[in-house]
Amino acid sequence: MRCPFCGNIDTQVKDSRPAEDHVSIRRRRFCPACSGRFTTYERVQLRDLVVIKSNGRREDFDRDKLERSIRIAMQKRPVEPERIDQMISGLVRRLESMGETDIPSKQIGEIVMEALARIDTVAYVRFASVYKNFQAADDFDKFVSELRPPNATPADK
């Protein structure tokens, strides 16, 4: 498994254990080159999902990509890593059980935003700003005030 920090391909597994009620195996990995630590998950993939992009192109759904974008949005937010893991698993399960194997990328973005809004307002706004590609500051402020999720935690209000 390639180190996500330095690209070294020779990383070591430090610890393996069942996670999320035994639907996955969680592995703690260590990179001897940069001393980076990261976690990987091994899990059963129920269905192969295809993402239909806005330009009509199709590509295989990439859980890692989804996870990466969510982790970027969650950076330095006071949310337990386990909770983020659970959220991502829940999202993927939701996508897998939607009845369609072909899912528009727009729909995936909306499901992610919905889930983030319930967990952390700041992460939600970060994700949404990238997702919606807001460029003008005015638009962004407007967007935040309009789309502030009603069920955000009281601390965020």
- The residue ranges that bind Zn ion (CB under 5 A) are 3, 5-6, 8, 31, 33-34, 36
Q: Is the Cβ of residue 36 or residue 104 nearer to Zn ion in the bound state?
A: 36
From residue 53, alpha-carbon distances to 56, 118, 132 in Å are: 5, 25, 14
Closest distance to Zn ion from the beta carbon of 150 (Å) = 42
Q: Is the Cβ of residue 6 or residue 13 nearer to Zn ion in the bound state?
A: 6
Closest distance to Zn ion from the beta carbon of 9 (Å) = 9
**Cα–Cα distance measured from residue 88 to residue 96, given in angstroms and rounded to the nearest whole number:** 12
Closest distance to Zn ion from the beta carbon of 40 (Å) = 14
Reduce the DSSP state of residue 149 to 3 states and report it: coil
**Cα–Cα distance measured from residue 32 to residue 144, given in angstroms and rounded to the nearest whole number:** 42
Alpha carbon dihedral 40, 19, 62, 90, in 10-degree steps, equals: -150
Q: Residue 99 phi/psi, 5° resolution?
A: 95, -15
Closest distance to Zn ion from the beta carbon of 100 (Å) = 38
Q: Is the Cβ of residue 34 or residue 130 nearer to Zn ion in the bound state?
A: 34
Q: Residue 42 phi/psi, 5° resolution?
A: -115, 130
Reduce the DSSP state of residue 101 to 3 states and report it: coil
Closest distance to Zn ion from the beta carbon of 32 (Å) = 8
Q: Is the Cβ of residue 2 or residue 58 nearer to Zn ion in the bound state?
A: 2
Q: Is the Cβ of residue 39 or residue 153 nearer to Zn ion in the bound state?
A: 39
